[in-house]
Amino acid sequence: MKSKIILLCAIAYTSTIGFTMGQSSSTPPKVSPMLMEPEMTEVWEPEVAIVTPAKVLGDAPSDAIILFDGKNLDQWVSQKDPSKPAPWKIINKDHLEVAPGSGGIQTKMKFGDCQLHIEFSAPDLVEGASQGRGNSGVFFQNRYELQVLDSYNNRSYRNGQAGSIYKDHAPLVNAMRSPTEWNTYDVIYTAVRYKEDGRVDYPARITVLHNGVLVQNNVTISGLTDYIGLHNYPEAHGDDVISLQDHNNKTQFRNIWIRKL
């Protein structure tokens, strides 16, 4: 009698296991959906910071750092000797002009992720060709160049014209205005990140609008802007200055502001 009971229990147990296993592989367990209210997906805190936009599109919003507004070059120094003032010329208390041969200029402050607005104009006197016409550049973290060039009726290699990430990414289109007009760059820059061992965690990325036209769509920057050779990231670094290039052309700049992101 006792052995019969044990046998029946064993059969019952085995059947239950089999039934349960069969059920779990073919029929998902029923889960009661959580009752949701509209408020449960609303996030209120912390309140989003208020920024007052400029009255004129392209002018600095309330939280921007003004890098140049025509008054002075207090935010800049010489690239050849950062202990010295920036050697470029302010004209008509309005804009800045490269002093050819004096070297580039760089910000006193260092930046990583940022939103930059900068306006530029090629020299009114059209001379030179290809890379010799209206050449300058904006270097993020003092290393990665967004090319400035007079690309109005001026062919050059496509990954070296205005709006290019120099010798890395050609612009999507050529949105250049004539040398008697001003151009704008609006840039969203995401700095390169490094791992603790110094290897690149993820490379820098950049989005650029040239006169409001998208020319770089969140592209990956391949590395240090080298004139010769493929670009790469030779050494880890942190935030760094933004620099403007002296390429022996009297390129002009105005209305430069930046927001740290």
Shortest Cβ 241–Mg ion spacing (Å): 17
Sign of the dihedral defined by the CA atoms of residues 221, 201, 237, 205, in that order: positive
Using CB under 5 A, list all residues that contact Mg ion. Answer: 135, 137, 245
Q: Under the phi-then-psi rule, with left for phi > 0, alpha for psi from -120 to 50, and beta for the rest, what region is 50?
A: beta
Shortest Cβ 106–Mg ion spacing (Å): 15
Which run of H or E residues covers position 12? helix 2-26
Could you say which DSSP state residue 57 is in? B
CB of 60 or CB of 79, closer to Mg ion: 79
Shortest Cβ 55–Mg ion spacing (Å): 33
Sign of the dihedral defined by the CA atoms of residues 75, 244, 99, 123, in that order: negative
Shortest Cβ 151–Mg ion spacing (Å): 12
Please say whether the beta carbons of 168 and 221 come within 8 A: yes
CB of 145 or CB of 186, closer to Mg ion: 145
CB of 64 or CB of 87, closer to Mg ion: 87
CB of 154 or CB of 245, closer to Mg ion: 245
Taking the CB of residue 191, how many other CB atoms lie within 10 A of it? 22
Q: Residue 23 in 3-state DSSP?
A: helix
Shortest Cβ 162–Mg ion spacing (Å): 10
212: Cβ contacts below 8 Å, ≥ 6 apart: 175, 184, 186
Q: Report which of 100, 90, 49 is spatially closest to residue 70, judged by C-alpha positions.
A: 90
CB of 60 or CB of 154, closer to Mg ion: 154
Shortest Cβ 111–Mg ion spacing (Å): 19
Q: Report which of 257, 137, 145 is spatially closest to residue 206, judged by C-alpha positions.
A: 145
Q: In angstroms, how far is CA 105 from the centroid of its own chain?
A: 20
CB of 135 or CB of 252, closer to Mg ion: 135
